[in-house]
Homo-oligomer: A and B are copies of this chain.
Amino acid sequence: MAKIEVAWDAYLNETVDALPDGLLLASLDAEGQPNAMAIGWGTVGIVWGRAMFVALVRHSRYTFDCVQATGDFTVNVPYAHQADAVALCGTVSGRDRDKFAECGFTAVDSGMVKTPHIGECALVYECQVVQSTDVVPENFDPAIISEFYADGDFHRIYFGEILRVLADEGFGA
């Protein structure tokens, strides 16, 4: 479907409300192969006077290596009917599997960043990393440590400046 550029904050509610079902964070590996990770966490707003998508990626993930190398990513908001693809992207690693191919995703060149976006998704945020920092284990609420970090595999926090947002024509209408 043809995508049109929209204001960065045109679909804030739709994006945040889709998090519990999973968004797809796409990245590009050293061989130029796109990869997609399911994310249920993220925040959106303004920092340093720039529109920002804040994403968290565990150091162990293939996506971590990719984003560290390229310094960019895309956040793709899927349609409800793509739930199986989201589930696949949330359970296998791009180290071993070509998730774009298995999901039938088309890697569409992004205008503003190196990482492509997923042609079949409804809405896309093209994000350039302008700051990254790690969570501080000793600064966590203990309940969060036991729930998410029992294995010590902590997250890096990426502040991705939203350079462009594309939406399927008619999305949200």
Of B46, B47, B52, B132, the residue contacting A136 (CB under 8 A) is: B132
CB distance from A117 to the nearest CB of B (A): 20
CB distance from A64 to the nearest CB of B (A): 14
**A144 CA / B52 CA spacing, docked (Å):** 13
**A44 CA / B46 CA spacing, docked (Å):** 9
Chain A 33-52, CB-CB to B under 8 Å as 1, else 0, gives 00000001111111111001
A135 within 8 A of B: yes
Instruction: Please indicate the chain B residues that have their CB under 8 angstroms from the CB of A161 in the complex.
Output: 141
Q: Are B131 and A133 neighbours in the complex by a CB distance under 8 Å?
A: no
**A130 CA / B141 CA spacing, docked (Å):** 5
Q: Are A157 and B130 neighbours in the complex by a CB distance under 8 Å?
A: no
Instruction: Please indicate the chain B residues that have their CB under 8 angstroms from the CB of A157 in the complex.
Output: 133, 157
**A40 CA / B40 CA spacing, docked (Å):** 26
Of B43, B56, B147, the residue contacting A44 (CB under 8 A) is: B43
Instruction: Please indicate the chain B residues that have their CB under 8 angstroms from the CB of A43 in the complex.
Output: 43-47, 52, 54
**A16 CA / B148 CA spacing, docked (Å):** 28
Report, nearest first, the 5 A-B pairs whose CB atoms are least far apart. A43-B45, A43-B43, A130-B141, A41-B47, A133-B136
- A contacts, CB < 8 Å to B: 9, 12-13, 16-17, 19-20, 40-49, 52, 54, 56, 128, 130-136, 139-141, 144, 147-148, 157, 161
